[in-house]
Amino acid sequence: MKRQALTRRKRAEETASGGNDAASASGGDAEDTFDDEEGAGSKYSRLTLMEEVLLLGIKDREGYTSFWNDCISSGLRGCMLMELGLRNKIELEDTGMRKRSLATRRVVMKEKSERTTGDVLLDEALKHIRGTQPTEGIQEWIELLSGETWNPLKLKYQLRNVRERLAKNLVEKGVLTTEKQNFLLFDMTTHPVINTAVKDRVVKKVQDTVLSKWQNEPNRIDKRSLGLIYMAHASDVLENAFAPLSDDDYELAMKRVRELLDVDPDVECGKPNSNDVLWGVVAAFLK
């Protein structure tokens, strides 16, 4: 009986091992994935920078961003470039021995970055960058992806309906829902928040970055959290994350945000553990 039990256990282990090997083999497809510090497997860990920034800007019950916010459009395009940089899909051209500012360096594809990201918007932006020779700098790409160009031949680079497409992504992830609201003269599709826990975690992530997890050296801050602070500010939604804070914490948080805004991106980019695309995007919005 013992021998039969051992035999069955051994066969079960071999079957489980074979299943794991098959799963890992089938996972080597052409789609890239990413995790953040919250760990893989949760819906929150699959939020991109664009989705986090949009989530900070969306009013919980109303389901839309402020009508007066004219910064979020370009901010979301900057998030895309930063996201691609953090995923090691793009980088800034090597300057060699010459010192050149971030504003003058062009965006280039990283070697072995043929795999897709699994995000339609990111893959669309990546396709534009890959197919453009000579390529452009960070500032130019933000403008092209936003459709801010006088050259009709470059209007093909514009990414359309970005906010709506990101909102639909968040609906699919169970964070938002879809409703219709009547605004006297027109009907508008809105996306109220239904999973407040996810938004609360994004808000807490922003707050912790400048409070409990604050680092005096920017490059020691988690890159995704650092990028979120900068892009939330560029998109004019950072105040929304600080609204629940006490007066003292709010004052301290804003003081540290001002410290981040006062840094020189060109200097920070030259330090160890830096990401050139992240600082290139920051430089484009701080100019």
Contact (CB, 8 A) for 31 and 116: yes
- Residue pLDDT, tens place only, 186-197: 788 999 999 999
Task: Report, as an integer, the average pLDDT of 61-85.
Answer: 93
Task: Calculate the average pLDDT of the chain.
Answer: 85
pTM: 0.84
Distance CA 222, CA 82 (A): 14
Question: pLDDT digit string (tens) for 214-228?
Answer: 999 999 999 999 999
Q: Quick one: pLDDT at residue 32?
A: 54
Residue-wise pLDDT for 30-44, tens only, equals: 555 454 444 434 444
DSSP state for residue 134 in the 8-state scheme: S
Q: Quick one: pLDDT at residue 113?
A: 64
End-to-end CA distance of the chain: 77
| C-alpha separations of 10 from 14, 21, 55, 237, 250 in Å | 6, 16, 49, 57, 59
Nearest C-alpha neighbor of 207 from the set 253, 260, 271, 154: 253
Locate all alpha helices (DSSP H) within the chain, ordered by sequence: 2-26, 49-57, 72-86, 120-130, 138-146, 162-172, 196-210, 223-234, 238-242, 247-261, 265-269, 276-286
Query: What 3-state class would DSSP assign to 230?
Result: helix
Closest CA to 199 of 216, 179, 174, 219: 174
Q: Give the contacts of 283 (CB within 8 A, at least 6 positions apart).
A: 101, 102, 103, 138, 265, 266
Q: Where are the alpha helices (DSSP H) in 27-98?
A: 49-57, 72-86
Which phi and psi (to 5°) does residue 50 adopt? -60, -45
* Class of residue 182 by CB neighbours under 10 A (exposed 0-12, middle 13-18, buried 19+): exposed
